[in-house]
Structure 1
Amino acid sequence: MAGSSNPGIRIGTAGWSLTKGIGERFPQGGSHLERYAALFNAVEINSSFHRPHRPDTYARWAASVPTGFRFAVKLPKAISHERRLANCDDLLARFAGEVAHLGDKRGPLLVQLPPSFAFHPILAAAFFDRAATMLGKAIVCEPRHPTWFAPDATALLVAHRVSRVAADPAPVPEAAQPGGWPGLRYTRLHGSPHMYRSPYDAAAIARYADAARGSTVESWTIYDNTTTGAALHNALDMLDRVTAT
C-alpha cells in the first residue's frame, strides 16, 4: 500500500497540493491527489471547514486513491465556530450526506474548536452523541481552551469515544500529548514557532516517527505547516524514517 508498510501508521498533510520543487518525488501524470496517494496513505481535508463540497466531488476523490488510503475530514466552521456545536442537526445531516460519498475511504472526523470555546459538559455530550449517530466512524477533537484538558473533560471524551488531538504548538502543555479515548492517536503539526509556516527539524521529525512506531493503536500524523510548502517535505522525511529498514 502507499505510505508506511505498517497500515496502523498514517502520515500525510493538510490537503494534497504538490508544491513546485518537490514534484520529482511523486509519480508523473494524473491529478495531484492521485500522485500524492501513490506515496502517502492519508490526508486531511481542511477545505470542508471553509465550504461544502458536492457529493460527487467526494466520490471522485475516493475513486482516485488506493484501497488502503483514508481521508480525515474537518468539521465545517459553521458547526464548530458559528453555531458552536449547538442546534446544528441540520448542518450535521447535510455534512453527513456529503462525506458519505467517501465510502470506506473515510477516516476520522476532525472537530477543531475555537480558542475561546470553553468546555461545557452538557453541550459537548449532546453534540458528540449526535455526531456519532449521524456520521459514525472515529471522531477526534482539537480543543484549544484550557478547560478541555481537565479530568472531567477527558472523562467525557473517553465516554464518547472521542480522541483528543496532540497538537503543536500546544495551547497548554497537556495539548502536546494525545488524550481522551485511547483507541486512536491523532497528531496535528501546525509548524512552530511560526504556525503554518515553520518547518520541523530532523530531531523533531524523528520524535514524531518514534511516537508513531511506538503506538499500539492506529496513529495519524498530519503536517499542517503548508503555507511555505514545508508540510510535504516534513511528511516525506517522516515517511522515510518510518519505512526505513
Structure 2
Amino acid sequence: MAGRIRIGIGGWVYEPWRGTFYPQGLRQKDELAYVGQHLTATEINATYYSTQKPATFAGWARTVPEGFQFAVKASRYCTNRKRLAEAGDSIAKFVNQGLVELGDRLGPILWQFMPTKQFDPDDFAAFLKMLPASVNGVPLRHALEVRHESFDDPAFLAMAQAAGAAVVLADHEDYPRIEGRDVGFAYGRLMRARADEPTGYAAPAIADWAKTARQMADSGDMFVFFISGAKERNPAAAQALIAALE
C-alpha cells in the first residue's frame, strides 16, 4: 500500500527566510503556522540541543494543520558519544520529554551520528536494542542518519531492517549515499541546495527526486527534508518538490 509523501525543511526559525519565504512583517510566532500552510513536514531542531516541555510540543501540534508531521531530531547526548551502548539513560530522557503531545503530528525520530562515527557492529546493535517501539502507547518510528562510509555494509543494513529503523538517504557531497532496506517508511535529507539556483535544486534534479520519492512511497510514508547547503533556498526547494509531485 502506497504511503504519503511529506516534504519539508529543517526547523522554522531562520532569519534569511524572512522576506524571502516568510512575508515581510510576519511575526516570528506565526512562522510555524506559515510553514504548516505551505509545506507538509518539518524537522524539529531544538530537541537536538535541549529538552523541551510537554506543553511546547502540544503548542507546536496545535499550530499546524491535520496531516502535517514533525520529524523530531534526537538529542546529541544520545548519539554523540564514544560508546553508543551507554546511551540508555539519554534515550529514555529524550523519548519521555513529551513527544506524545504531538499526537498524530508526530513523524519519525531522526538519530543523527557524527561523520567520524564508524560502524561498530556490537556497539550499534546494543544501541538499536534501546530504541523503544513506543512511548505511552504511541508507536515510534526511527530513522538513522549515518555519515561514515563504514556503514555502507550489508551487516548494518540488515541490523537496521531487523530493528525496523529506516536508513536516511542523504544527498550530500561528502557523506555516502546509503540505500536502506524496506521498513515501511523512508526518510531523505537533501543537502545540495545552491544559492545561484532560485529553487535550490535545478528543475531536472527536482523531477528526479519526485520520481525517487514516489518509488520509495510505494511501501510506506516518505519524508523528504531540504536542509543545510544554501539554506536560504530550502523552502523554495521544498515547495518546488511539492509542486512536482502534484
Shorter-chain TM-score tier: 0.7 to 0.9
Where does residue 9 of structure 1 map in the other structure? 5
Greater displacement, 214-223 / 13-22: 13-22
- Listed one character per residue, the Cα deviations across residues 20-55 of structure 1 (whole Å, up to 9, x for unaligned) are 222359x99971111111122211112211222222
In the other structure, the counterpart of 1:155 is 158
Match of 1:117 in 2: 117
Residues 193 and 41 of structure 1: CA distance in aligned 2, closer, same or farther (over 3 Å): closer
> Which residue of the partner structure matches residue 79 of structure 1?
78
CA distance in 2, matches of 1:180, 1:170: 22
Post-superposition Cα deviations, 1:147-204, rounded to whole Å, max 9, x if no partner, equal 11111111111111111111011545xx43531344212110122579xxx9221111
Structure 2 unaligned runs (5+)?
Answer: none
**Aligned partner of 1:14: which letter?**
G
CA distance, structure 2, for counterparts of residue 40 and residue 61 of structure 1: 15
In structure 2, what is the Cα distance between the partners aligned to 1:104 and 1:84?
A: 33
The residue aligned with 1:212 is: 213
With CA pairs under 8 Å and 6+ residues apart, which has the higher RCO, 1 or 2?
A: 2
Alpha-carbon distance in structure 2 between the residues aligned to 1:180 and 1:85: 22
RMSD: 2.7
**In structure 2, how many angstroms separate the alpha carbons of the residues matched to 1:157 and 1:29?**
38
1:232 partnered with 2:231: no
Aligned-residue identity in percent: 28
Residue ranges of structure 1 left out of the alignment (5+ in a row): 1-5
TM-score by length of 1: 0.84
Rounded to whole Å, the distance in 2 between the matches of 1:179 and 1:187 is: 11
Question: What amino acid is the match of 1:165?
Answer: V
Q: 1:178 to 1:220 in 2, by over 3 A?
A: farther
Q: How many residues align?
A: 232
Q: In structure 2, the residue corresponding to 1:67 is in which secondary structure?
A: coil
